[in-house]
Amino acid sequence: MCRWMAYSGQSIFLEDLLFTAKHNLIDQSMCSKSAETPTNGDGFGVGWYGSATQPGVFRSIRPAWNDFNLRDLATHINSPLFMAHVRATSQATVQETNCHPFRYKNWLFVHNGEVFEIERLRRDLLLAVDPGLFPYILGSTDSEVMFFLALTFGLEENPLLGLAKMAGFVEETAKKKGIDEALWMTVGVSDGTSLYAARYASDGDAPTLFHSRDMEAVCHLNPLLRERFGANARVIVSEPIGVFPDIWQEVPQNSSLHVKDVCFEINPFIPAK
Amino acid sequence: MCRWMAYSGQSIFLEDLLFTAKHNLIDQSMCSKSAETPTNGDGFGVGWYGSATQPGVFRSIRPAWNDFNLRDLATHINSPLFMAHVRATSQATVQETNCHPFRYKNWLFVHNGEVFEIERLRRDLLLAVDPGLFPYILGSTDSEVMFFLALTFGLEENPLLGLAKMAGFVEETAKKKGIDEALWMTVGVSDGTSLYAARYASDGDAPTLFHSRDMEAVCHLNPLLRERFGANARVIVSEPIGVFPDIWQEVPQNSSLHVKDVCFEINPFIPAK
Amino acid sequence: MCRWMAYSGQSIFLEDLLFTAKHNLIDQSMCSKSAETPTNGDGFGVGWYGSATQPGVFRSIRPAWNDFNLRDLATHINSPLFMAHVRATSQATVQETNCHPFRYKNWLFVHNGEVFEIERLRRDLLLAVDPGLFPYILGSTDSEVMFFLALTFGLEENPLLGLAKMAGFVEETAKKKGIDEALWMTVGVSDGTSLYAARYASDGDAPTLFHSRDMEAVCHLNPLLRERFGANARVIVSEPIGVFPDIWQEVPQNSSLHVKDVCFEINPFIPAK
Amino acid sequence: MCRWMAYSGQSIFLEDLLFTAKHNLIDQSMCSKSAETPTNGDGFGVGWYGSATQPGVFRSIRPAWNDFNLRDLATHINSPLFMAHVRATSQATVQETNCHPFRYKNWLFVHNGEVFEIERLRRDLLLAVDPGLFPYILGSTDSEVMFFLALTFGLEENPLLGLAKMAGFVEETAKKKGIDEALWMTVGVSDGTSLYAARYASDGDAPTLFHSRDMEAVCHLNPLLRERFGANARVIVSEPIGVFPDIWQEVPQNSSLHVKDVCFEINPFIPAK
C-alpha cells in the first residue's frame, strides 16, 4: 500500500498541498491512517508540469518526511498540475527507478495497490509490452509494468480505455495461471492537460480514493490560497488531507475520473479486451 | 525517541537477534509500540566487537527495514558483544554521522532520549569537550556531544562515573540557562569487554529500558541458539523483543547496569560533579 | 579542491549553463582539468534565487554526473542568480550538510580551497562564531565555518569586508598555532541581488578563478540564449566552461569581485582585522 | 568500463587487498589508468564467501572511495574467496541492483565490458532467460542479463560452458539485428570453491585482465601476509594493483581461467551454441 495525491487547478506551489495542509501526504508517509501500512517510508516522488516539454520528476529512496531537498523544491516549484506519491513496499527493492510517478514523454503515472503474485506474472506481462516501449522500463515494480501495458494498449490516444485494457489483460493473464482476482489498484494519470484516475479491484474491494467536492472544498485546505487555486481546482487523494472530512467525496469502487478545467466526470471502470 | 539493543555473551550472528527474534529491533524501526514515535526510520547503525582492534560500525541513513546490506551483514558478522540502534529524530539532520553507535577508539555509545532545548545548550556543551577530543565530533546530535563529554569526564577510566559527570554537567549547564529538567536518556556503552547502560531523566521519567532476566530468558528468544548464547548471555533493550514478556525485567528509573561475564550489577545512577 | 560556478543576469534555466555548455561544471565533476583533483565526485549542490523568500538549495552526496534528479531540476528551475558546486574532499565526511552552497537567511556561500590543518584550528574558529549563529552550523567542513565567521564579522552589512575579516581572523588564529600560511580559497557569496567573489591565498597562490569578459563572451557559451542572458550577464567559474578560452579573464590573485547589474568591480582583497 | 578483482587463497581480510595494497581497486575507482574511463565512481560492490550458506554481498551507489562503511567492513570481514567491483556506466541507472557482484544461490558474478546496443537486444535476451530464473533479475544492466543467460545455459553444471553458450547466444542474437561484433567482456564467476574468469570480445579486443604469476607474486602485494595468503593464493584483476608490474601476467585474448587450490588452468574461450 502506498499513498498518492494529484492536483489540477491554477498554478500553486507544491508545498501548498504537500506541506502546509494538515495530515498532508508527507505526514501520511510516516503516519497514514491505514491499518495495514501506516508507514509509507520506502521512497517517494513528485511529478509536475511546468515550463519544459517534459514534466519534471523528483524521486528519492528516502522517507519523504526526512528529505530536506523535497522541502526546498516544494517551496520553489509551482505548477497547475502535479502528483506526489509515498511508497510502502514489501516486494520490489527501494530504488529511485521504483518510485512513482513513472514518466513517459509527457505522461505521468502513479499507483497504489498490487498485482497479486506479480512474481508469477511479471514475465508474461513484460512480454506483452510493445517492444518499442520496452527499453523505457527501468525498475522492477508491478506499477511500472501496468503503466507500460496501458501505453501499449493506447493510453496516449484514449487514457481510460488504455487503463481498462491494461486491467483486462492483467486479469486475463492471471486467470491463465489460476489467479482469479489479480488486480487491486488506484491509479492517477496525466498528460499535462487532463487528470485521470481510476479505482478498481478484481474483487471489488479496491484501496480508498477520494476527490475534493468542489472549489469551496479545496479552499478549506488552505483558505489563504482561495485566489490562487482558481475556480476549477480539484484534488484527488488516497487518504483525506486537511481537517475537514466533509470536503472529500469517496470515489465509488470500480470507477474512473476525468478532470479538465470545468469538466469533472465519474464513470464506471470496466476492464476491457 | 529511538530504539536500541545490546548483546553480551558468546559469539552469535547479528541476525540471530536483529532479524530472527519476533518484534525485533528492525521491526521496531517501522512499528515500535511507543505511542510517541512508532516509526524509527531516520537511519540506523550497528556496532560490533570482532577480530580488529577497533569495533566495526555500519551506519546508514535508510530505514533499517528496507536496507538489504544490513540483512547480508547481519548474516555474516558474528560477535560476542554488539549494539544496534534505530533512529527517530525531529531535530538533527539524517546523515550517517548522526547515526548511532558513536565510536571512539575501542568504545561504542548508543543513546535514546533527548537533551531538552539542545539548540540553546549545544555550544556550551561543545566548549566543555576536551580540545583533544573535539576533532572527533563529526555530527550534529546531542547524543554525540553527550558521549564526548563523558569521555572528557573520564569514561575510559570509570565508565559509569564518566556518564554520571556528563549527566551532572548537562543539568548544571541547562540550569544556568533556566532549564530545570534537561536530560532524558537511556544509554549503552562498551569497551568490548564490559557492557554498561544507564536509565536516567532529570524529571525521573526516563524512556523505558529492559534487561533479560537470565540465560534461560535469552534462550526463549531463540531456543535453537541455547548452546551458542552461552551461560552468561545478556540482552538490553529499549523495548522488549520476542513474544515472551516474562523474560524481560524493567531497569528501574535512575539506575545503571554493568554486565561482564558472570558479573551483573544494578546500581543507582546519580549525576555527579 | 572543488569546482564552482555562479551566474548573474536575466533569468535562465539552470541547465543552460550546468548541462548545455561544453566542459560544464557537471563534466568537471568527473573530469576537471586540475592535475591534483580531476575528480570532484564527493557530492554537489545548487542554490538559486527564485520566487520564495529564501533561496532554494538542492544538495546531494552523489556525484553530480550520475544524479538524475539534478538533470530534471535544472531543466525546470530558472533563476537570475544561481551558484553550483561540485565537491572533492579528503577530509570532511561526504554528507549533504557538507555540500555547498551553504545558506543563511537570504545568503548563499560556496568555497573552493582549504584551511590548512583545520583539525587543529576548527575548535578555535568555531568559538569565534557568534553564539546566535552557532546553532545554524550543521556540517563539519572548514568552508561552513568560514561562512559563519564572515557572517559574525558583518558579512550581511558589508560582504567583502566580512570576508576580509574572516580571512584575517583565520590567518591570525593559525599563526598562534605556528601555521604561517593557513588560507587558500576562492569564494562566492550572494544575497540575491549582488554577486561577490574573492580569490585569495596566504601564500599568494590561490586556486584559479575566472570571470566572463563581457556579455558577448557569455553569449559564446550558448548563442541561442543571447536574448535570455540579458545585457549584464556575468559568469564566474573555477575553471573555464565552454570551448572558447578567450571569453574568460582570470581573476588576479588576492582580488575581489562585485557584480550587480551594470556594476562590475575588481578590487584587491586584503585580510582585515 | 569498470574495474574488478577476485581473490582465492587462504582467508584474508578484504582490506588486505582492497585498501592496503598500492593502486588498489578503491584507488582505481577514482583514478584508474584507463584512458577511456579513469573514474569508476558509479557505485561498487563486494561479495565474499564466509560462514553462511549464501555468499555475502555489500553494494552501494556511492563511489567506493568515499564510503566509510566499506572501510569498516573490509577491516572486519575475512574470506578465502571474494570479488569486488567498481562501476562506470554511461547507460544503466546507478542503483544498488545494478552494482556487481550479482548473486544467485551460491554463485557470484562480476563483469567489465559491454553488450553493444544493448537497448536493441535487451528484450530478446531477457526472453531467453529461463522463466524460473526470470524473477531473480532485479536491475537493468546488460551484465545481470549475461549472468542469468549463463545460468540458463548451464553455468551451475559447467561454468565455462555456460559462459561460452551465453557469449554465443548474445552474438547470435545481435547478428540477427545486424550487429556484427556485440560482446566485449571480462567476467569473474564463483561458486565458493572454484574461481572462473574469461576475457573475450567479438572483435578480439577485450578489456584487460591479469592474473598473479604465482604465490611469490601475491606476497609482493603485501609481504606481511606471506603466511596468511597460503601457497595457492591467486588474484585476478582488471588492472594491476600494487607497485610491481612483474607480478602480473596478462590473460590472453579469448581465454578462460579456472582457479581451485593447486589447479590453475588457462584455456581458449570460444563462444558455443
Whether B119 sits inside 8 A of C96 (CB atoms) is no
- Please name which of B48, B20, B26, B71 lies closest in space to residue D56, comparing C-alpha atoms: B71
Whether D135 sits inside 8 A of A119 (CB atoms) is yes
Whether C131 sits inside 8 A of B122 (CB atoms) is no
pLDDT given for residue D164 in this prediction: 98
10-residue stretch averages of pLDDT, chain D, 273 residues long: 94 93 88 80 96 93 94 95 92 90 98 95 96 95 97 98 98 97 97 98 96 89 84 94 90 97 95 94
Task: Give φ, ψ of C102 to 5 degrees.
Answer: -90, 150
Q: Which of A97, A123, A126 sits opposite D95 (nearest CB)?
A: A97
Residue with cell 576537471: C32
How confident is residue C33, by pLDDT bands cut at 50, 70 and 90? confident
pLDDT given for residue D35 in this prediction: 63
Average pLDDT over residues A121-134: 96
**What's the whole-model pTM score?**
0.95
Whether C58 sits inside 8 A of A72 (CB atoms) is yes
Whether chain A has a CB inside 8 Å of the CB on D131: the answer is yes
- Give the residue from chain D lying closest to B51, CA to CA: D76
pLDDT of residue C245 exceeding 90: no
State how far residue A227 is from chain C, nearest Cα, in angstroms.
18
Residues paired with residue C265 on neighbouring β-strands, in sequence order = C258
Contact A100, A109 (CB under 8 A): yes
- Please name which of A66, A22, A23 lies closest in space to residue A44, comparing C-alpha atoms: A66
pLDDT of residue A175 exceeding 80: yes
Mutate to test the interface with B, among D69, D78, D102 (most CBs of B within 10 A): D69
Per-residue pLDDT of chain B (273 residues; tens, 9 = 90+): 799 999 999 999 999 999 988 889 988 998 888 767 789 999 999 999 998 889 999 999 999 999 999 999 999 999 999 999 999 987 779 999 999 999 999 999 999 999 999 999 999 999 999 999 999 999 999 999 999 999 999 999 999 999 999 999 999 999 999 999 999 999 999 999 999 999 999 999 999 999 999 888 888 888 888 888 888 999 999 999 988 888 999 999 999 999 999 899 999 999 998
pLDDT given for residue B35 in this prediction: 63
- Give the residue from chain A lying closest to C59, CA to CA: A69
pLDDT of residue A157 exceeding 90: yes
Higher local confidence (pLDDT), A215 or C271 = C271
Touching partners of A (3+ C-beta pairs < 8 Å): B, C, D
pLDDT of residue C91 exceeding 80: no
Whether chain C has a CB inside 8 Å of the CB on D31: the answer is yes
Average pLDDT over residues A75-86: 96
Touching partners of C (3+ C-beta pairs < 8 Å): A, B, D
State how far residue A50 is from chain C, nearest Cα, in angstroms.
7
Listed by number, the residues of chain A in 45-74 with a beta carbon closer than 8 Å to a beta carbon of chain B are 61-63, 65-66, 68
Contact list in B for residue C144 (CB cut-off 8 A) is none
**Average pLDDT of chain C, as a whole number:** 94
For the sheet containing B195-201, what is the strand order? B102-104, B107-115, B183-190, B195-201, B255-260, B263-268
How confident is residue A35, by pLDDT bands cut at 50, 70 and 90? low
Q: Is the dihedral of CA C137, C140, C142, C143 positive or negative?
A: negative
- Contacts of D62 by beta carbon, 8 Å cutoff, 6+ apart: C61, C62, C94, D43, D44
Whether B135 sits inside 8 A of C127 (CB atoms) is no
Touching partners of B (3+ C-beta pairs < 8 Å): A, C, D
pLDDT given for residue A136 in this prediction: 95
Whether chain C has a CB inside 8 Å of the CB on B78: the answer is no
Mutate to test the interface with D, among A62, A95, A136, A144 (most CBs of D within 10 A): A95
**Average pLDDT of chain A, as a whole number:** 94
How confident is residue C35, by pLDDT bands cut at 50, 70 and 90? low
Whether D126 sits inside 8 A of A126 (CB atoms) is yes
Q: First-to-last CA distance in chain B? A: 27
- List pLDDT tens digits, range D36-94: 778 999 999 999 999 888 999 999 999 999 999 999 999 999 999 999 999 998 777 99
Q: Is the dihedral of CA C158, C159, C165, C168 positive or negative?
A: negative
Whether B61 sits inside 8 A of A62 (CB atoms) is yes
Contact list in A for residue B93 (CB cut-off 8 A) is 68
Q: Is the peptide bond between D38 and the residue preceding it cis, with omega within 30 degrees of 0?
A: no
Question: How far apart are the C-alpha atoms of A88 and A39, rounded to whole Å?
Answer: 7
Contact list in A for residue C51 (CB cut-off 8 A) is 76, 78
Question: How far apart are the C-alpha atoms of D65 and D70, rounded to whole Å?
Answer: 9
Whether B41 sits inside 8 A of A39 (CB atoms) is yes
- List pLDDT tens digits, range C152-198: 999 999 999 999 999 999 999 999 999 999 999 999 999 999 999 99
Question: How far apart are the C-alpha atoms of C192 and B151, rounded to whole Å?
Answer: 44
- List pLDDT tens digits, range C187-233: 999 999 999 999 999 999 999 999 999 888 888 888 888 888 888 99
